[in-house]
Structure 1
Amino acid sequence: MTYGVRKRVARWVQPKFGVRRMPDRTTYDDALPKFAAIVARVLGDKAPIENFFLRDSSGRLTFVHTEHLDRTDRNKIVREARELEPYVERGSASVASISELFDVGNADTEPGLFEYIQHPVYEGFARVVERRIVGQDWLERPRNSIPGTPPIVVFGSHKGGVGRSTALAVAANSLAQNNYNVLVLDMDLEAPGLAGSLLPQGDNAKFGSLDYFVESVLAPVDDSFLEQMVAVSGLTKGRGRVHVCPAVGSIGETNAQNVLGKIARAYLESEDERGNSLSFLEKTRSLVARLTQANRYDAVFVDARAGLNEATAAAFLGLGADVLLFGVNTPQTFTGYRYFLSYLQRFRPESSGEDDWRFRLRMVHAKASPDPKNQQNFRTQSFELFADSIYDEEEGVDEASFNFDYDDATGPHYAWPILYDSNYSEFNPIAQPEQFSRSMYERTFGPFIDALMDRLNLSRSK
């Protein structure tokens, strides 16, 4: 990959009447581009990628040089970086060598990730090492699939209310009607709901995923605990079974006053039996692996938390799963996913292949109008979104690039539609079991379920 750098430097503004205005306060969004511009100006265009910037938990930046740095050049960077306060410390602390900050024996020879910057003062790549108190899982590269587990599908969305959980429940029921076994895992810890859709009152599991994450902070969770995390849905038809791991189990329902306290502790790191630190992402991978060892499943459906919080990172990046990005045809959908995909572009592999995580993404046009123009508009905005972020920039389509034509149905921008249906505006199959009947859901969810089963290489009975 070539990392080109183009700089446009604009430090002072000269207003009318000859009054010289001081530069505006440096903000988080300005700090890295301005620092990269200083480094590139002093050391050359390649310096921001041959060295790196350390961004600490508060957002403060340090330029870390990997090779010897001439004292004159170092002092020049320190002097010019003073204007970047408070995001760069005043004085020599703004520049450091690797040996001053890291254990050289354990240091990564090429630490950090390439971040593309597009800013009035700097345009190009910079290498960045992040240090965070929260949100650490977003620093993880997308993981490969978990060995020994069935295919995993994550149902995600930027906002709630788009029918994500409804589609998951209907799809799980349809697979059961086609004689497949499905594990449904509710990872929406702050807004749990799958248990209420799939498990009649009294049928809920004792513990939920929220209990698992809280209990594992202080001590490992044994197999008997996991056995009490899964309940069988009695609503589905056919020889297949839908097993549900709720977010909140019956013990949480009984002790409702404790749920908020649990949520506050669910994302804490813990230690394994060897004393190694386990992040929320690692614990999520372990949970899925252990739950799928107990029973034979043809697929695992994960209901992810809406938005871009820590639980979303674990589901989107940590499971090696197909990730379905639900959205309705509104500006908020594409604004939200632009944040997500623009961030993910730092993980783009240098060449596309079978293990390219980008193939696992897919837009879903939820509550879609039957009007073809409306669906085409959604596809157009999705295409532009992907083209501006994680599609490769090479012109044309070839085997070595991750790029798709607008009308290529295999591209992740080519959304699977789910039509709006007033019959599902209030989803409650416990009170309205006909919502799980094929005659009702076929028109609305049929094409989506067909596409999903093709993705899972499962045949659908007629």
Structure 2
Amino acid sequence: MTSLTDVNFSSTLPHLANLIVDSFDESTLTSGTFLRDGFGRLSFYSVRHIKASEKKAFNKLALQKLGLHVSPHGALQDADSPGFEAIKQSEKFSLKLTVQDKEASVCFVDRRFFGRDWLHPPVAPAAGAPPILVFNSIKGGVGRSTALFVLSIALSRAGKNVLLVDLDLEAPGLGALLFDGSAPTFGVLDYLVESALGGVSDDDLPMFISSSTLIDREIGQGRVDLMPAVGALTIQNPKMMMAKLSRALVEVPGDTGRPTTLIQQINEMIIRASSTSHYDVVLVDARAGLSEITASPIIGLGATNLFFATDHPHSYEGYRYLLSHLSMLPVDASSDWRSRVHFVHAKAKASMEARELFNDKLYDVVSDTFYEEDEGDDVFNYSYDDKTAPHSPFRIFFSSEFIDADPVENASLLESDVYNAAFGSFIDAAFRVLGFNQEVEDAAASF
């Protein structure tokens, strides 16, 4: 057995790449494709035909050097090998490796038992659908759900009809912020479970959405509706929660015989929900962290993503992992999903020194992991001072009034002069991203 200090999950790929160049040449490496299977074992598919004797010798060497970290079917495969055509047609990543002290770009296919939605190509915004704003965070407790609720109130006051969707299935909270004991019969959890049991009809869909009981239509011209994570049936029968949750985050049989992924189910659900009424915008509360269900709102909805962060090491470390992965996903030149990413500095201190320190740390993370290193007009890269850049954060200031905020118990939190002190800058930035600023200014000028 090889020692983990010499060979491990992270080191196997560069080790195997160097063996390929040593045994053949660089063109063999850069024209072929690496495959990592569900257990993490590697193999390499060469586009050129390789003599059986050469293949046998290489596979023996790779097994000696890399042990069980390479495929039991052989580390080296070629155009005559089973599965070659499937590999050619698979979605691929481009990775940069250091091989023999030089940088080389290689193609990579990643097979997974779990987390497959993170490999899905980012979805473009749906034509004719309302814009979607997704609230993401690495950790809970950063005020993400509270910010979503406050923004929905501000949008309502601006005359916008808003649909909120709570995808934080393991820690649902939006329902408590918006309903005073009047949740809809069903929620997102039920929709996903029923998808495998015959689906949800158009006639049943209204039972998944309710209007907030806290929005005074005399104050707010727009409506705020919610599709909660859990509905009244689950609230009344809490023993069913875990049973439903264990069945919600799975692929289900599709009409074509191929499974319908979680990312496809959630995309369909939100498109259908947003078509039940006239909505100007959809706000989605995503699950914190890097779980499977988090992939759906980030890359599966064609949404604008707000990444909430505080000035804490876990925020920077978590986003370093997330952005490093996202940087490998394909980009459609006609709709670059990366331009729809924005960071939010949550619970920000008022001092300029604290804000600049956060800006510096965030820029280091984003520039190291998300921006392209090359220069040029078509390169995704921004200078430190560019206010339109993903790393230029929206700001929400710390406010003790919004610690454990409960508008059901404290209606004053719904007053604009209360929430604007902490959230005013953030609300302005969100309106600008959604393209609503000019409409609001025009409406105000007409009174």
Q: What's the TM-score once normalised by structure 1's chain length?
A: 0.89
> Is it true that 1:429 corresponds to 2:407 in the alignment?
yes
Counterpart CA distance in 1 for 2:418 and 2:74 is 66
Among candidates 340, 343, 346, match of residue 363 of structure 1: 343
Segments of structure 2 that go 5 or more residues without pairing to the other structure are: none
C-alpha RMSD of the superposition: 2.1
Q: 1:70 to 1:124 in 2, by over 3 A?
A: same
Q: 1:358 to 1:23 in 2, by over 3 A?
A: closer
> Is it true that 1:407 corresponds to 2:385 in the alignment?
yes
Residues 191-249 of structure 1: CA deviation (Å, up to 9, x unaligned): 11000101111x10111101111110232221123211101002124110111000010
- Contact 1:62–1:95 (Cα < 8 Å) also in 2: yes
> Is it true that 1:267 corresponds to 2:249 in the alignment?
yes
Runs of 4 or more above 4 Å deviation: 118-123
Secondary structure, in 3 states, of the residue corresponding to 1:403? coil
Equivalent residue number for residue 213 of structure 2? 234
- Displacement of 1:380 in angstroms is 1.2
Q: 1:164 to 1:101 in 2, by over 3 A?
A: farther
Q: 1:369 to 1:118 in 2, by over 3 A?
A: farther
Q: 1:121 to 1:153 in 2, by over 3 A?
A: same
Among candidates 75, 88, 99, match of residue 94 of structure 1: 75
Among candidates 24, 37, 49, match of residue 68 of structure 1: 49
Range with greater deviation from structure 2 (231-240 or 68-77): 68-77
> Is it true that 1:153 corresponds to 2:124 in the alignment?
no
> Is it true that 1:207 corresponds to 2:200 in the alignment?
no
- Displacement of 1:354 in angstroms is 5.0
Segments of structure 1 that go 5 or more residues without pairing to the other structure are: 1-20
5 Å-filtered alignment, 1:186-197, equals: 186-197=166-177
- Displacement of 1:107 in angstroms is 5.8
Q: 1:430 to 1:146 in 2, by over 3 A?
A: same
- Contact 1:117–1:125 (Cα < 8 Å) also in 2: yes
Counterpart CA distance in 2 for 1:284 and 1:68 is 43
Counterpart CA distance in 1 for 2:304 and 2:29 is 34
Q: What's the TM-score once normalised by structure 2's chain length?
A: 0.92
Task: Give the counterpart letter for 1:315 in structure 2.
Answer: P
Residues 228-280 of structure 1: CA deviation (Å, up to 9, x unaligned): 11010021241101110000100111111111121111111112334332000
- Contact 1:232–1:241 (Cα < 8 Å) also in 2: yes
Range with greater deviation from structure 2 (120-129 or 79-88): 120-129
Among candidates 323, 326, 329, match of residue 341 of structure 1: 323
Counterpart CA distance in 2 for 1:98 and 1:415 is 49
Task: Give the counterpart letter for 1:176 in structure 2.
Answer: S
Q: 1:26 to 1:186 in 2, by over 3 A?
A: same
Among candidates 94, 100, 106, match of residue 114 of structure 1: 94
Residues 432-455 of structure 1: CA deviation (Å, up to 9, x unaligned): 111111010011101100010011
5 Å-filtered alignment, 1:360-399, equals: 360-395=340-375, 398-399=376-377
Secondary structure, in 3 states, of the residue corresponding to 1:285? helix
Task: Give the counterpart letter for 2:418 in structure 1.
Answer: M
- Displacement of 1:101 in angstroms is 3.2
- Displacement of 1:74 in angstroms is 2.1
> Is it true that 1:163 corresponds to 2:143 in the alignment?
yes
Range with greater deviation from structure 2 (54-63 or 321-330): 54-63
- Contact 1:151–1:300 (Cα < 8 Å) also in 2: yes
Residues 30-67 of structure 1: CA deviation (Å, up to 9, x unaligned): 11121112112222224333111111111111111222
Task: Give the counterpart letter for 1:437 in structure 2.
Answer: E
Equivalent residue number for residue 59 of structure 2? 78
> Is it true that 1:253 corresponds to 2:235 in the alignment?
yes
Equivalent residue number for residue 443 of structure 1? 421
User: May I ask how many residue pairs the two structures share in their alignment?
Assistant: 435
Counterpart CA distance in 1 for 2:270 and 2:4 is 51
Counterpart CA distance in 1 for 2:343 and 2:100 is 32
Equivalent residue number for residue 14 of structure 2? 33
Q: 1:76 to 1:99 in 2, by over 3 A?
A: closer
Counterpart CA distance in 1 for 2:262 and 2:6 is 36
Task: Give the counterpart letter for 1:208 in structure 2.
Answer: G
Secondary structure, in 3 states, of the residue corresponding to 2:189? helix
Secondary structure, in 3 states, of the residue corresponding to 2:275? helix
Equivalent residue number for residue 274 of structure 2? 292
- Displacement of 1:353 in angstroms is 4.4
- Contact 2:30–2:104 (Cα < 8 Å) also in 1: no
Counterpart CA distance in 2 for 1:116 and 1:103 is 23
Q: 1:235 to 1:357 in 2, by over 3 A?
A: same
Residues 352-389 of structure 1: CA deviation (Å, up to 9, x unaligned): 84511110111100000011111111111121112112
Residues 82-113 of structure 1: CA deviation (Å, up to 9, x unaligned): 121221145x6222235533273x66357521
- Contact 1:418–1:445 (Cα < 8 Å) also in 2: yes
Percent identity over paired residues: 33
- Contact 1:152–1:301 (Cα < 8 Å) also in 2: yes
Among candidates 11, 14, 24, match of residue 5 of structure 2: 24
Equivalent residue number for residue 3 of structure 1? none
- Displacement of 1:427 in angstroms is 0.9
- Contact 2:17–2:99 (Cα < 8 Å) also in 1: no
Task: Give the counterpart letter for 1:342 in structure 2.
Answer: S
Q: 1:113 to 1:238 in 2, by over 3 A?
A: same
> Is it true that 1:219 corresponds to 2:219 in the alignment?
no
Task: Give the counterpart letter for 1:233 in structure 2.
Answer: S
Q: 1:122 to 1:337 in 2, by over 3 A?
A: farther
Secondary structure, in 3 states, of the residue corresponding to 1:223? coil
Counterpart CA distance in 1 for 2:406 and 2:100 is 52
Counterpart CA distance in 2 for 1:415 and 1:74 is 52
Counterpart CA distance in 2 for 1:191 and 1:60 is 34
> Is it true that 1:243 corresponds to 2:225 in the alignment?
yes
